[in-house]
Amino acid sequence: MSPTTLAAIIAELESAYDPAWAEPWDAVGLVCGDPGRPVRRILFAVDPVASVGDEAVAWGADLIVAHHPLYLRGTTTVSAATPKGALVHRLIKHDIALYTAHTNADVADPGVSDALARAVGLTGALRPLQPSAEDPRRGLGRVGDLPAPMTLREFAAQAVRGLPRTAWGLRVAGDPGRTVRTVAVSGGAGDSLLGLGAVRAADVFLTADLRHHPAAEFLQAGESGGGPALIDAAHWATEWPWLPQAADLLASALAAKGINVETRVSRTVTDAWTTTAQCED
């Protein structure tokens, strides 16, 4: 296996997920690591947390590519007395770099929502729900058509099979028997997109972190206007499908230059919710 430097890996990542595409509030790029060190093994994960760090150490990874930032709101300390600081210390001790591609990966072409759309069964052309002004092929969310119409109940069953398993599965709002063909998706928290025309024109919108009031008001407005059904998935589950896509993209780009790296997609479930309970009375 031909070693290459972390700097070369970062250059390839940023050609696919340009940091300039990230939102102004975001924190993307290299968190820790020496750009001059060789990289042979790269672990892709949604969350940079202790369990992912354990997996990286056990596998002998040289780099973790995470979707979520470690310090989104900044910090004044990396003390090992804090959970995030302890992770930084452990990664540095084991010569493991950490790199983040967040909202720049969300809007990339292909990006997080492309992978989500494919995971839930969309096979044809996709277009952004909110296209970028600089390039209409990029942007937030995706919308496309299923190969054939199906009921909302059938689509929800298909979607839950295509996504990684989580404690709460999917929450569905709408008539289970309604026909769906056009599907809008957005990886991660998506209720800020409920007002978009492309969402309202779809038969169903699948995203994560839908809050009660925005969802309820959206559904009430749709009762007279024929808006879409809603499907709420776990945040982690909607972004996990990007990991194999990103790993394949990076490995292929490097291989075209004669550089071979070993990639691995973390299957460590880092969703915050671990179980559910229902009242038996």
Residue 163, phi then psi, degrees to nearest 5: -100, 155
For residue 226, name the pLDDT band (cuts at 50, 70, 90).
confident
Query: Rounded mean pLDDT of 231-246?
Result: 98
CB 242 within 8 A of CB 111: yes
212 known ligand binder: no
What residues have CB less than 8 Å from 104, skipping those under 6 apart? 17, 18, 19, 20, 21, 22, 26, 28
Find the radius of gyration of the CA atoms of the chain: 20
Tokens (6 digits) for 20: 């300039």
Angle at 246 between CA 244 and CA 251, to 5 degrees: 95
Query: Rounded mean pLDDT of 135-145?
Result: 98
Task: Name the burial class of residue 168, with classes exposed (0-12), middle (13-18) and buried (19+) by CB atoms within 10 angstroms of its CB.
Answer: middle
Residue-wise pLDDT tens digits, 209-222: 999 999 999 999 88
Q: How far, in Å, CA of 93 to CA of 107, rounded?
A: 34
106 known ligand binder: yes
For residue 149, name the pLDDT band (cuts at 50, 70, 90).
very high
Q: Which of 10, 19, 66, 18 is nearest to 39 (CA)?
A: 10
Given this model, what pLDDT does residue 182 score?
98
Residue 240, phi then psi, degrees to nearest 5: -60, -40
Q: Is the model's pLDDT at 272 over the cut of 60?
A: yes
Query: Rounded mean pLDDT of 69-83?
Result: 95
Query: Rounded mean pLDDT of 143-155?
Result: 98
Given this model, what pLDDT does residue 278 score?
85
Q: Which domains are seen in the chain, by residue range?
A: 6-105+239-264 (3.40.1390.30), 108-233 (3.40.1390.30)
Given this model, what pLDDT does residue 2 score?
56
Burial 42-63 (b: 16+ CB within 10 A, else e): bbbbbbbbeebbebbeeeebbb
Burial 251-281 (b: 16+ CB within 10 A, else e): bebbeeeebebbbbbbeebbbeeeeeeeeee
Q: How far, in Å, CA of 43 to CA of 151, rounded?
A: 38
Given this model, what pLDDT does residue 224 score?
63
Residue 85, phi then psi, degrees to nearest 5: -65, -40
239 known ligand binder: yes
Q: How far, in Å, CA of 229 to CA of 243, rounded?
A: 27
235 known ligand binder: yes
Query: Rounded mean pLDDT of 45-55?
Result: 98
CB 42 within 8 A of CB 71: no
Can you give the pTM of this predicted structure? 0.96
Given this model, what pLDDT does residue 238 score?
98
CB 118 within 8 A of CB 92: no
Question: Residue 276: helix, strand or coil by DSSP?
Answer: coil
Residue-wise pLDDT tens digits, 92-115: 999 999 999 999 999 999 999 999
DSSP element (H, E) containing 182 = strand 179-189
Given this model, what pLDDT does residue 13 score?
98
Residue-wise pLDDT tens digits, 161-194: 999 999 989 999 999 999 999 999 999 999 999 9
Distances 24 to 27, 72, 235, 240 between C-alpha atoms, Å: 8, 11, 21, 23
Query: Rounded mean pLDDT of 24-48?
Result: 98
What mean pLDDT, rounded, does the chain reach? 96
For residue 32, name the pLDDT band (cuts at 50, 70, 90).
very high
